[in-house]
Structure 1
């Protein structure tokens, strides 16, 4: 046993050797510049622990934190025609779809799921901004209709999480037709007497805002979310005036009567559980595994 070669040399090498740190271990907050450890950020539901900036989150990550025990079942969505207009910009539309599916691991920009929130059967629809900006195409219209039909079948409320840059240009007028389709679907839900709650996340804009995203019985938004039809830069260039501070952000819209609540992501599950049970005339939710208190049993006074 050589003490120098077995202990001293490895120690010196460890001091001077350069270790490669994987890029995915840390993420920089776009608002405050804080470097966030990925595990810490995941535990915080992709909310910056320093400035509370709500970063993008996928529907699957959201559903895992929203449904009881993180358990949910996907609702099948009919697949539309893949390339109805044979559209091509810098790439062919099928090639762009194929690349995005490989990158995100998702079939399309919207996921429909069913599960329980506060022990109440609920159907949720989540838009994925990472999939071509969450753009609204025929699949998104099919997903909303599938979610509504499943909610009517289960006689349960529907919660929709919007995150989109607008209509999908590769599908042209067929994309714009999803606005009236989704509006009719929401009306079907209303005629069935079932609650429809919309949670607007950053960003929600374009034709999505002009249709299903602003038709909820209750409108909730995450803090700091950009909610608009045309973006602030376009408006400033059009009217040639400087817009107010925080214009088109969720807090601004709440102050001007466009929203009912602005809710932090960590409080969203509790907020929805209370709200949905109230809207369906159910008893208040009971959190944890303890049974609800029996009203017939008198309280013990010591």
Structure 2
């Protein structure tokens, strides 16, 4: 790990608040602990949990970096004790536990993946967080009905665009809620069979007319919780990953019992390291080859300099982006 600078550029938070609390700064360059690789960051992804942490509602786990940034791509420049399978100079992408908004970050070696064939090192920064999240919640260890219907809410964002692609690649018929216009064209290009204009169409009626949804992936919450239950067919599974419209709702749970619906959800960051390593291994074996075949592709909306992280957050909160927003040191 020679030739590393003593300090590294970072983006720090001046307390909790809006995008204006993010500003450029510097810290002592990090070093890898046992089992970690040190990555010189080429790009870092902006994700929904970054927004929540910036607002003061998603504190990092004990021992994790207080810096934002849950996914990066870059080059290995150092190895912690006991690391196998990676060498200095390797290009990779990885799921971090924080610290991605920086020039260097230390990441568990078993939470890293090679850059998929045909994907640029910059675009690869937008893969780990959403692919780990969607794969682990919807597909890993799950028996999916052949040709089943998959309803994805928010199909133009990072989670949604990943879910549309994975659902299509796994043989599901994907319905998605998006805004009419450019977002509809975008979701269709990713494989969505039916794009539902959430402002002018009722996804409940459309799904029920088609026979109901077998799997529903929701990041909205609020009144969507009860509406998802109505849109689901018998023995369906509803996966809740965020509550952008609120988590406190009043619903009638009788249909959950009558339809035998499974309702679940999770946050990825708090899951054990061993679980994340298992997800990484499954992605490498079952999903990463689909990039080479063209069944999957990265979807990058914008690439901004690291010191414009606040602008990236504003862009994401405006909800007009199609795919991922990335930062480059």
Common fold: TM-score over 0.5? no
TM-score by length of 1: 0.31
Return the index of the structure with the highest Cα Rg. 1
Structure with higher helix content: 1
TM-score by length of 2: 0.29
Structure with higher strand content: 2
- Larger relative contact order (Cα-Cα within 8 Å, sequence gap ≥ 6): 2
